[in-house]
Structure 1
Amino acid sequence: MKTYSESKLYCTISAIEPDWEREKIDRWWSPSKQLLKSIRDYQKWKKQGGLMAFLATRTNVIWHRFWSIVTGADIPLNCQLGGGLLLVHPNGIVIHPNATIGVNCLIFQQVTIVEGVKIGGHVDIGAGAKIIRAVTIGDHARIGANAVVVSNVPVGTTAVGIPAKILPNC
């Protein structure tokens, strides 16, 4: 059973301020971080405009395709990802471009997120989880492995099962 201090420690990761150190590339062969970098760079250059931006976006499209193949992830260039995102094992991750992912989230392998989903800050999503309706997932929530989420998940709770049931934090 968790003590109060352990629960409090879990919530010390911000649901508002992105921790960019989580996405920092520490070595070249870091596929999930390279995939995120290609997306971030593409979005940055796309806003700038001009000839240099045109060339940079084309280069980032190529890098994005390369890292998408390497990781086996389907994360579009125009998706809305909050800073500090961690993709521990990005294989099989599918995110719809109209889904919104909050800051400092953690997503494991084989996760599917469909159109209209709004994920708050510091949400952990377990391996194989499917979010298959346009729902809202609150800050500091956790989605269990292989859960199928079809309804909103309140702040600070855990959703597990098929269909997912909400468990309050201890």
Structure 2
Amino acid sequence: MPKNNIIQKDFYRESGKMLDTPGIWMKCVNPNLHFIYILRKTQRHPKNSILGMFWRLVLRHHQIKYGFQIYPETQIGAGFYLGHWGAVVINPKTKIGRNCNVAQGVTIAQANRGKKEGVPTIGNEVWIGPNAVLVGNITVGNNVLIAPNAYVNFDVPNDSVVTGNPATIIPNPAATEGYIGNKIED
């Protein structure tokens, strides 16, 4: 795959095609993709520049409109995919790898005290199911599936499925097979 901009790589995850600007705009009728487009445009511009301030204002409007509380400071790798519309909260200090899917109702939060004080770091090819909660200074490895409604406040190794509350880890080398489509290489 040729070098393309991060917006094209995010949209590739949905369609399996590298889209030009008109193609991207046509896909922006989808609230999830529209929000990702605005988030990435905001991330491109310095906070105190005129364009940076403009895009932050647009982003804030769409955070409220769509229910996504994801900030431009959040480090998110290429191929980010929001599976469904609404109610996603991600701490701005979180780091997320490439080819990651986040479903509706997900919270990725900071712990303010205790042994795990801090925010999560999430690897590549991670699928986070509906209403899952990840909290604290934890590391989620690569090729990890976090099942719906799981509560994760501990490190998760590569090639794992995490399920339940309290959560348990099930080793699985094919954890995200069939869950993460149209992967981008970077």
Length-normalised TM-score, structure 1: 0.79
Instruction: Decide which moves more: 126-135 or 32-41.
Output: 32-41
Determine which structure has the larger strand proportion and give its number. Answer: 2
Query: 5 Å matches for 1:60-139?
Result: 60-115=55-110, 116-139=119-142
Q: Retained in 1: the 8 A contact 2:27–2:34?
A: no
Query: 5 Å matches for 1:6-85?
Result: 19-20=9-10, 21-22=12-13, 25=24, 26-46=26-46, 54-85=49-80
Q: Once the two structures are superposed, what CA deviation does each residue of 1:92-132 show, in whole Å capped at 9, x if it has no partner?
A: 11000111111010010010101320000010000000012
Percent of pairs identical after alignment? 32
Q: Once the two structures are superposed, what CA deviation does each residue of 1:61-104 show, in whole Å capped at 9, x if it has no partner?
A: 12212221221111112111111110011411100011111101
Query: 5 Å matches for 1:138-157?
Result: 138-157=141-160
Inter-partner Cα distance in structure 2 for 1:87 and 1:28: 13
Inter-partner Cα distance in structure 1 for 2:34 and 2:50: 19
Q: Structure 2 stretches of 5 or more lacking a match?
A: 1-7, 111-118, 174-186
Inter-partner Cα distance in structure 2 for 1:81 and 1:131: 16
Q: Tell me the C-alpha RMSD between the 2 structures.
A: 2.1
User: Residue type matched to 1:153 in 2?
Assistant: V
| Displacement over 4 Å in runs of 4+ | none
Inter-partner Cα distance in structure 2 for 1:32 and 1:81: 15
Q: Retained in 2: the 8 A contact 1:114–1:134?
A: no
Shift of 1:134: 1.5
Length-normalised TM-score, structure 2: 0.73
Inter-partner Cα distance in structure 2 for 1:56 and 1:31: 22
